[in-house]
Structure 1
């Protein structure tokens, strides 16, 4: 593809994705192949973790921005038990063209000379209702999708507008605003992209028209270059700090405690021996590392230790088995700590013994799977029958380029790998020395990110989530991995995506970035139904910048009655299970 690789975008912009935590299983033995469709939703068989928005022209509704059935009450609670049959749904991809967002328009045609791109009088907003922005906040973060009238370009459509809470000028996609008129009945923002070796300087101007819901602004925009109109179109912008659908802070989930993580950006958590191990990604002002909390009293977590290693600041995933703690490091590979004293982890070694960027880790039984993305482009398989002494068994790679493997979930001698642009891929890993690719689920523009797998009514099903704009949850029947098929979907505002998930019986717990924690009843897998939520995102949290990869990011649900959530800026939140 002509655009920059996603990993480069993530690490070279202010929106850098700081962590992508792995799926989970509740114990060392891994999930038993239980039939989740008939088991007790809260029993011991934890299977582990791992509607288009209309335009202003006439189809905006109160749930504008919802991409699929979000599992609202109309899904019903009296659905009959699932019998394993399901219709195969068409794949719409993550980049559904939602049509024009507004009736307003820039009045000059493409190619016409223009003296001042940010001249608000050049926008025809005669159809815009008066008073739409009389009460609009003058600060806040907006995630934006721009739709060119000359053709929808899905991979170049995302922008973000940041109007800082301190009242300073703000920026658009990291570039200082050159014009800002927000409030007192107006919503106009502009910026300039400086010239590069490839592109001349370009001016972008966004003018609001309507507010279909309190969290959303729709309008029109123009891009000018070298004194001429280059692109015209419409846009939609949603406010991360205002939950959609009129939600309160929570429903069905109760906050028990909250603890700040004194490191960079918190990204993942694992709970073992009454301790929560939180890893963080480092940045310029705060290094990454490991924070150890004693959670014997869930209402009062106690920070026991902070661990950092020199020149090794991007720690992104964590798992425990017995007395071993495994940490995914972008520099060292898998770092092994001895937690026989759970409050005082001791460094043991790093595997495979040479510098290897590892992004996530996943353990099932005596196997440790480490995802080494980008240049390494491989899943590393380790024997951890001696937990503190992992032995490298093999490497699995598609050698397909791109970002490589991101996450994996092991289930019934199969390894389901979220292989970013290469899709969702199943491997037979029963014999570590002879690994076979069994099949995949792939669509245009995919960025397979995380999954959880279980058995429902005799069918093997994967709950698969992508990342980036438009991504949402897919329910895939993977019983025959050579012929994976889509049978269900769930999603909220398309500007935000899922980060991670845990399947526990017939409940799916989802860390959904700005949408917080979502708990789904998946007893009827083709129709996931939301039964609880907790909105973790608050704009006022220190360090928030309005990036699309902020909010609920890591999640674990051990069998202790609690949900452990990591929010990128709030730290560790402990919630009582519904």
Structure 2
């Protein structure tokens, strides 16, 4: 796919996106419900008492338009010069025809804050996005960390310019000029834009929408969930969590504010977590996923593959080794039974399969790969029975038979337009094997797939919120699906009737307190989630840290 501009967000997702789909056994205590649901998650308990319906396994196959939806222009205003024209400057407001813009639409607009900007060229269906930040002290704003060329934003005006490096086919800079026109809702500005070379040659033009992050649908902070405790994480960018032995293990990646690593909390009293230890390894600060089995904690490292820690004393993890040896970017980890899977994205793009029957001494069994994969590579995976379901980003959702680790074979895949398959969970409902697949990037959402026959996966249901934000992670416990939905916070769905997921609770983790970091905020807020079976929901928010919730 020749979509160079799309790679702006795709590349960022490999940097910041990706915690493992959650599940696992709790060493030393009676095992909680596994996140894939019970061995038959739908036969006996499908249909909550208030759902008014028990699913019989039947479902219509739905058409899937993909994650690129034909989008009407966001605004009627326009940049008047046509592509190919050369101008003295593209940053003259008079070049934008805003005669049809509603009078006073931008009155009262604040001069500071953050916006998620999505722009759409007249010649392409592909939206491109970035985060616009305008400081409260009146200083120079930024787009994904790059200083703006100019800005005139405030009461009555939304006009600014930025630049980006276009890498294909040869590296060159482009200027983007944005002019606001309308305000369809208080936190959204729509308008038009132009893309020009620094010399003034017009390359593209189109429309845009800019949304200030906040709670959607007129919601309050929470419904059906309450906050039990909140703990800051003393690491740069916290992304994932695993809970076992009365302790929560939070991993983080490094950014401009500091280094990543591991923070260990005693959570035997969830209302009062106690930070017991912080662990960082020199030169190895990209820790993106965590999982545990027995006395072993496995960490996905962007530099060292899978790092093994001994948690015999859960408050004091001890380094054991890094696997499989040498430098390797492992993005996520997943354990089921006696197998550990480590997912390594592009450029290696492989799933490492280990035997962890001896938890502290993993043995590499196989490296699973898909030939001729496109950009992105493997991201996450979920094992269910003898099948490994892999989120293979731009290649879609792929099922592998892993019953014989020496003869792994592909069983089938589900692909959709502009895919960035990111996380998943699988269970059995009414005798059918059902997968919940979450995409990432613009317009991504939850797909409900019947994967009973992996060679013929079918779309049978959907769940989506605002198109600006996407799902990061999910946990399936019985007939409830718990989702970490970035700026949409935590969402709890009743999936007892899989074709019709029904939201039953939520908690908006977003707060209007801008973080210190620069760059995109697309991959922010509710990012990691675990439901270990102790009656609490453990959430990692990139800005707030460790949140412990309870269902009401």
Q: In structure 2, which of residues 154, 157, 160 is the aligned counterpart of residue 183 of structure 1?
A: 154
Alpha-carbon distance change, 5 to 408 in structure 1, aligned in 2, over 3 angstroms = farther
| Deviations 1:308-365, CA, capped at 9 Å, x for gaps | 1121111111011111111111122111111111101111122223332211110111
After TM superposition, the structure 1 = structure 2 runs for residues 290-301 of structure 1, keeping only pairs within 5 Å, are 290-301=262-273
1:252 aligned partner: 224
Specify the SS of the correspondent of 2:149. strand
Alpha-carbon distance change, 354 to 200 in structure 1, aligned in 2, over 3 angstroms = closer
After TM superposition, the structure 1 = structure 2 runs for residues 430-509 of structure 1, keeping only pairs within 5 Å, are 430-509=403-482
Residues 378 and 395 in structure 1, CA contact (< 8 A), matched pair in contact too:
yes
| Deviations 1:363-391, CA, capped at 9 Å, x for gaps | 11111111122232211111111111111
1:122 aligned partner: 95
Shift of 1:541: 4.4
Q: In structure 1, which of residues 382, 392, 396 is the aligned counterpart of residue 368 of structure 2?
A: 396
Cα distance in structure 2, aligned partners of 1:86 and 1:42: 15
Cα distance in structure 2, aligned partners of 1:41 and 1:322: 31
Residues 472 and 492 in structure 1, CA contact (< 8 A), matched pair in contact too:
yes
Shift of 1:210: 1.6
1:135 aligned partner: 108
Shift of 1:457: 1.3
Cα distance in structure 1, aligned partners of 2:395 and 2:70: 22
Cα distance in structure 1, aligned partners of 2:137 and 2:181: 25
Alpha-carbon distance change, 216 to 324 in structure 1, aligned in 2, over 3 angstroms = same
Residues 134 and 142 in structure 2, CA contact (< 8 A), matched pair in contact too:
yes
Residues 520 and 531 in structure 1, CA contact (< 8 A), matched pair in contact too:
yes
Cα distance in structure 2, aligned partners of 1:272 and 1:205: 50
Residues 242 and 290 in structure 2, CA contact (< 8 A), matched pair in contact too:
yes
2:289 aligned partner: 317
After TM superposition, the structure 1 = structure 2 runs for residues 8-157 of structure 1, keeping only pairs within 5 Å, are 17-27=15-25, 31=36, 34-40=39-45, 78-154=51-127, 157=128
Alpha-carbon distance change, 202 to 330 in structure 1, aligned in 2, over 3 angstroms = closer
Specify the SS of the correspondent of 1:482. helix
Q: In structure 1, which of residues 328, 332, 344 is the aligned counterpart of residue 316 of structure 2?
A: 344
Shift of 1:553: 0.7
| Deviations 1:380-405, CA, capped at 9 Å, x for gaps | 11111111111111121113343221
Shift of 1:161: 1.7
Cα distance in structure 1, aligned partners of 2:83 and 2:264: 57
Moved more, 183-192 or 158-167: 158-167
Cα distance in structure 1, aligned partners of 2:47 and 2:306: 32
1:529 aligned partner: 502
Specify the SS of the correspondent of 1:245. coil
Normalising by structure 2, what TM-score? 0.92
Residues 41 and 504 in structure 1, CA contact (< 8 A), matched pair in contact too:
no
| Deviations 1:423-469, CA, capped at 9 Å, x for gaps | 10001111222211100001232111110001111111110011111
Alpha-carbon distance change, 16 to 382 in structure 1, aligned in 2, over 3 angstroms = closer
Residues 434 and 451 in structure 2, CA contact (< 8 A), matched pair in contact too:
yes
Cα distance in structure 1, aligned partners of 2:484 and 2:278: 24
Alpha-carbon distance change, 542 to 223 in structure 1, aligned in 2, over 3 angstroms = closer
Alpha-carbon distance change, 384 to 200 in structure 1, aligned in 2, over 3 angstroms = closer
Moved more, 521-530 or 186-195: 186-195
Shift of 1:276: 0.3
Specify the SS of the correspondent of 1:151. coil
Alpha-carbon distance change, 112 to 542 in structure 1, aligned in 2, over 3 angstroms = closer
Moved more, 555-564 or 107-116: 107-116
Specify the SS of the correspondent of 2:455. helix
Structure 2 residue runs without a partner (length 5+) = none
Q: In structure 1, which of residues 551, 558, 564 is the aligned counterpart of residue 532 of structure 2?
A: 558
Cα distance in structure 2, aligned partners of 1:195 and 1:86: 45
Q: In structure 1, which of residues 158, 164, 172 is the aligned counterpart of residue 135 of structure 2?
A: 164
Aligned-residue CA RMSD (Å): 2.5
Specify the SS of the correspondent of 1:142. strand
Q: In structure 2, which of residues 230, 236, 246 is the aligned counterpart of residue 264 of structure 1?
A: 236
Cα distance in structure 1, aligned partners of 2:300 and 2:2: 30
Residues 544 and 569 in structure 1, CA contact (< 8 A), matched pair in contact too:
no
